[in-house]
Amino acid sequence: MLRRTLIPIFSVMLILSYMFSASIIIEAQTEERKLEMLYINEENVKDLVAEGILKGSGTPDDPYVLENYVVYSTVLPGIWIVNVSNLVIKHVIITTYENVSGLGRAGISIQNATNVLIENVQIVKVRDGILIGNSKKIRIKDLDVYVDKDVGYAFQFYNCIDVNVENVLVGSGHVMIVRGTQKEHYDIKVKDVYKPFGPNLFAPFKYYFDVEDIHIAPEETQKLEERMYGGLFIAYAKKVVLDSIYFIDDVIIVNTDDFGAWNIRVDGGNYGIYAKNVSKVGIYCSGVNNTIYGVLLDGSQEVAIKSSMINYNSYGIYLTNVENFNISHNFINKSTVNAIFVKNSKNGSITYNILTNIGNQAILLDEGTEDVTVAFNTIYNVG
C-alpha cells in the first residue's frame, strides 16, 4: 500500500488479475493452515484455542489471535465473529475456492464485539469485504481488499463506535458505507485509504464527520489526477460544496444542512451522488456514469438538479421523501429501469429534460407523490 513502500508487489499483480495472484499466494501456504469458513462465538472460542486455531486467553492484555491462515468464504463469510471481544486477526488471506467460479459471500463479519484488531489481511474474490455491526473499538489497518466491482463494499459499518481504518487499498468494488441510529455511529476515523485508477495512479477516499463547512475545489494549476478522489463520505456537516472534482466511487452526504455540487463527475459508483437527510441539495452541470443510481436523494426539503448528464444506470434520478424539487435541462441516457423515479414527494417540477434509451418508464411518479408538474420533456427509445 502507499504507506508500505507504495504497494506490495502482489497488490500490483492483483490489480491486473487478482484471481491469478491469489492462487499464487494461497499455494504458498501449507495445507494445515487452510480453513473452510471459521465461526467464532462466546461458546466455541475456548474450543478453538484448545484446537490450536486461536491463541491467547481473550483478555485485553492477551487477546485471542488468529494468524497465518488462508480462510475460504462460500455462502457464508470467511470469518464470522459473534459476541467475542479482545481478538486479533493478522496475516490472513480470505478468498473463495480456486475451482469456484462465483464470489464468496464476505471476508469478515463481526457482530457485538469489542476491541478487535484486523491487520495485514488480504480479502479477495468475495462480494463484500468487512461487515461490522453493533461493535466498538475496532482497528483496521494494512489491508488489500478486492470485492465485487458492481455492488461490493470493502467496509460496511452499522451502529459502531470508535472505529479506525488506516492504510487500505480497495483494488475493486466500492469503499465504505456507514449507517447508524445515533450521531456517534458515524464517527469513523479514516486515513490513507485508496482506490487505484490505472496502473500507477491511486485516488484517496475521504471521510469527514461533524464539521462546519467543507469546500473541495482544485487549484487552477492542478492536473486531473490531483483532483481525483476514490470516493467521499460526509456525515453531520453544516455546508458542503464540491466544485470541479472527479470521483471514481460514491459521493455520499448524510445528515447535512446544505449540499451543492458544480461540475463534478462520478464514475463507477454504486449510489452515484447520494444525499440522505440533507435539507438543501443543488446539483448543477455535473456528470454521473456507470452507477446503479445516478442521483439518489432521501429526505430533503429543497432540491434542484439541473443541466447534468447521467448515463448508464438503473435509475437516473431517484427521489423519495422530498419536498420542493426542480429537475430540469438534464440529459439522462441508458437507464435500465427509470430515468426519473419519484416517491412520497411533493411540490415539484420535471421539465425540459432529454430522456433516452430507457428500459422501463421514463418518468414514474410512485405512491405518495403529489403536486408535480411534468412538461416539455423530450422522451424517446423507451422499453
Task: Residue 62: give its domain's CATH number.
Answer: 2.160.20
Number of domains in the chain: 2
CA separation, residue 252 to residues 171, 231, 234 (Å): 20, 8, 6
Q: Which amino acid is at 321?
A: N
39 and 120 part of one domain:
yes
In a domain, 63, yes or no: yes
So what's the pLDDT on residue 23?
Answer: 42
Does residue 213 belong to any structural domain of this protein?
Answer: no
> Which residue has 448524510 as its cell numbers?
254
**The three grid cell numbers given for residue 295, joined into one nine-digit string:** 442521483
Domain final position from 204, 230, 260: 204
Q: Taking phi first (over 0 means left), then psi (-120 to 50 degrees means alpha), and beta for anything else, what does residue 341 get?
A: beta
User: Whole-angstrom Cα distance, residue 62 to residue 280?
Assistant: 50
Is 168 within the bounds of a domain? Answer: yes
Residues 91 and 151 in one domain: yes
Does 379 lie in the same domain as 269? yes
* 185 and 226 together in one domain: no
Both 52 and 142 in a single domain? yes
Going by the DSSP 8-state scheme, the letter that residue 226 receives in this structure is G
- pLDDT value at position 36? 86
The answer to whether position 209 is within a domain reads no
Quick one: 199 and 226 in the same domain?
no
157 and 264, same domain (yes or no) = no
Q: Say how far apart CA 22 and CA 95 lie, in whole Å.
A: 8
Is residue 134 in some structural domain? Answer: yes
Q: Is residue 141 in a domain?
A: yes
Residue at 171 is within a domain: yes
Q: Note the pTM of the prediction, 2 decimals.
A: 0.89
Written as nine digits, the cell of 181 is 441510529
DSSP 213-234: EEEE---TT--GGGGEES-EEE
* One domain, residues 64 and 187: yes
Per-residue pLDDT tens digits of the chain, which is 383 residues long: 444 433 444 344 444 444 444 443 444 443 448 888 999 999 999 999 999 999 999 999 999 999 999 999 988 899 999 999 999 999 999 998 876 767 888 999 999 999 999 999 999 999 999 999 999 999 999 999 999 999 999 999 999 999 999 999 999 999 999 999 999 999 999 999 999 987 778 999 999 999 999 999 987 656 766 789 999 999 999 999 999 999 999 999 999 999 999 999 999 989 999 999 999 999 999 999 999 999 999 999 999 999 999 999 999 999 999 999 999 999 999 999 999 999 999 999 999 999 999 999 999 999 999 999 999 999 999 98
Q: Among residues 178, 204, 230, which one ends one of the domains?
A: 204
At 151 the three-state DSSP class reads: coil
Query: Do residues 254 and 200 both lie within one domain?
Result: no
Domain boundary among 147, 178, 204: 204
Q: Among 126, 118, 221, which Cα is nearest to 166's?
A: 118
Range of the domain at 199: 1-204
| Shared-domain flag, residues 112 and 154 | yes
Do 258 and 165 have their domain in common? no
Give domain status of residue 54, yes or no: yes
pLDDT at 28: 42
Q: Are residues 315 and 380 in the same domain?
A: yes
Q: How far apart are CA 153 and CA 175, in angstroms?
A: 5
What counts of helices (H) and strands (E) characterise the chain? 2, 31
